[in-house]
Amino acid sequence: MRRKRCGTGVRGVDFADMDKLRHAASCFGVLWVAAIVVVGVGCDDKRRHLTSDAVGFAAVEAPVPPDAGPAEVVRAFLSSLTEAQHVRERGLKTAESKAEYDQAMGRITSLAARHAVYENMIRQGGAGVPAGLTEEAALTIITESWISTVSYYVDGFLFETLAGIPANSNSAELMTAYIEAEPPEDRARLSKIEASDEIAHAKDADGRPIVYGSKAYVELVRSKTLAMEPAFNTPIRVRIAVKLRQENGSWRVSGVGLLPAPMPTSLPVFLQTPSNQTFSTTQP
């Protein structure tokens, strides 16, 4: 049975939520979560209702040096998101788990473009933004919403696909990084369906074998994935966009979004790292 995603202060995202996000991303382009307040249900965290500096996480030194490049920042950021999601999946019922989550979130906020996140949230305004919102409270809201955005994919980041392009030709201080991801559980179930005799020997209305990747093939496979319990949609791969900017001379994250995959082949790959290499966020 698929694990229920449950956050602390934002709504955990299950497969149905992600299908909606995928649909929105495919229809309207990248779905950014840079200054969007996500209202929590089921897991109530009083911090999201507050505006004082007391609502922040542990003050943790960034897990990368100040002069780290975009690729190194993104690797550290995604690794910290993964760690925080794993902790909150297990539940924050003990002092140890809460401290572990606090440290992981502290690393995430240390990699956030604090001023840009706060300014974006204030500029967005609306009923979801508390009056008197402080920078620290804005970071708490936004960083936890980032986790919920990618929670379904944290075990499936394909680091060998990490690539990046400047945000625009007029600024060397803005960049967007892209990485593809596939939920391992969905990959395993999809592979099993595709290897079945029913799919392998499927024929069209004229009795001809259905060609892999054709519209008929895709529709047949999707009908099988949606009929499973629990159901899941295809394609299972998405592209995660991480918006970066230089703040106080260091590359930092200002937004996270979802896009359909695969990535355009024209994107320059700036990460040359073996796919089995992991990035440690353990503090010395």
- pLDDT, tens digit, 9 for 90 and up, residues 97-123: 999 999 999 999 999 999 999 888 888
| CA pair distance 277, 13, nearest whole angstrom | 27
Q: Which residues of 142-168 are buried (b: 16+ CB within 10 A; e: fewer)?
A: bbbbbbbbbbbbbebbbbbbbbbeeee
- pLDDT bin (cut points 50, 70, 90) of residue 1 is very low
pLDDT at 134: 85
Measuring CA to CA, which residue among 115, 77, 94, 84 is closest to residue 12?
A: 84
% of the chain residues with pLDDT over 70: 68
- pLDDT bin (cut points 50, 70, 90) of residue 89 is very high
% of the chain residues with pLDDT over 90: 46
Measuring CA to CA, which residue among 150, 155, 142, 156 is closest to residue 253?
A: 142
Across 165-189, average pLDDT: 84
Is a pLDDT exceeding 70 seen at residue 219?
yes
The helix/strand/coil state of 87 is helix
The helix/strand/coil state of 47 is helix
- Report domain extents, the chain: 15-157, 185-226
Measuring CA to CA, which residue among 86, 104, 78, 75 is closest to residue 5?
A: 86
* Residue 49 CB partners (closer than 8 Å, separation 6+): 130
pLDDT at 137: 86
Measuring CA to CA, which residue among 238, 224, 242 is closest to residue 20?
A: 238
Q: How many CA atoms lie within 13 A of 148 on its CB side?
A: 27
Sheet holding 31-33, edge to edge: 31-33, 250-260, 238-247, 171-181, 157-168
Query: pTM for the whole thing?
Result: 0.73
Distances (CA, A) of 98 to 93, 105, 107: 7, 10, 14
Across 1-13, average pLDDT: 36
- pLDDT bin (cut points 50, 70, 90) of residue 58 is confident
pLDDT at 231: 93
Token pair recorded at residue 275: 């796919």
Is a pLDDT exceeding 50 seen at residue 269?
no
Distances (CA, A) of 113 to 7, 248, 249: 22, 9, 11
Query: Which segment of 96-100, 201-205, 250-254 scores lowest on mean pLDDT?
Result: 201-205
pLDDT tens profile 130-151: 777 888 888 888 999 999 999 9
Query: Which segment of 11-15, 23-27, 213-217 scores lowest on mean pLDDT?
Result: 11-15
Segments in 12-113 forming alpha helices (H):
15-28, 70-90, 95-110
Place of tokens 């892999």: 212
- Terminal C-alpha separation, the chain: 37
